[in-house]
């Protein structure tokens, strides 16, 4: 739910950077800021998938990873939005 009604601000530099990192390869969900994770999911730019953990503490277990959707790939390629 958006706090300010239907108004959506452009993605922050941090969120856009994380999206570009996710486009390159799926990354563990826990490595992404919770607010950025929520924003990317709200705009359907990423989806959650289960993949083996890269961490030794979870060795052999699947954990949630973020994978870019087609919309996410297009948004990452579009670059920063200009706000006037």
Query: How far apart, in whole angstroms, are the C-alpha atoms of residue 72 and residue 83?
Result: 20
Instruction: State the Cα–Cα distance between residues 75 and 84, nearest whole angstrom.
Output: 19
Range list of β-strands (E), 1-84: 27-28, 46-52, 62-68
Per the structure block, which two tokens stand in for 61?
A: 């277990």
Q: Is 47 exposed, middle or buried (0-12, 13-18, 19+ CB in 10 A)?
A: middle
pTM summary value: 0.83
CB 53 within 8 Å of CB 59:
yes
The CATH number of the domain covering residues in 13-78: 1.10.10.10
Domain edges within the chain? 13-78
The whole-number pLDDT of residue 84 equals 46
More confident position, 9 or 37? 37
User: Which tokens is 47 given?
Assistant: 């989806």
7 confidence band (pLDDT: 50, 70, 90): low
Task: Summarize pLDDT for 28-60 with one digit per residue, the tens.
Answer: 999 999 999 999 999 999 999 999 998 888 788
What is the pLDDT, as a whole number, of residue 1?
Answer: 47
Q: How confident is the model at residue 78 (pLDDT cuts 50, 70, 90)?
A: confident
């Amino acid at each position: 739910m958006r706090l300010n009604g239907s108004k959506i601000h452009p993605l922050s530099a941090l969120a856009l950077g994380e999206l570009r990192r996710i486009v390159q390869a799926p990354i563990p969900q826990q490595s992404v800021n919770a607010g950025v994770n929520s924003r990317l999911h709200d705009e359907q730019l990423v989806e959650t998938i289960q993949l083996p953990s890269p961490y030794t503490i979870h060795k052999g277990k699947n954990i949630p990873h973020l994978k870019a959707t087609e919309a996410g790939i297009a948004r990452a390629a579009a670059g920063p939005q200009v706000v006037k």
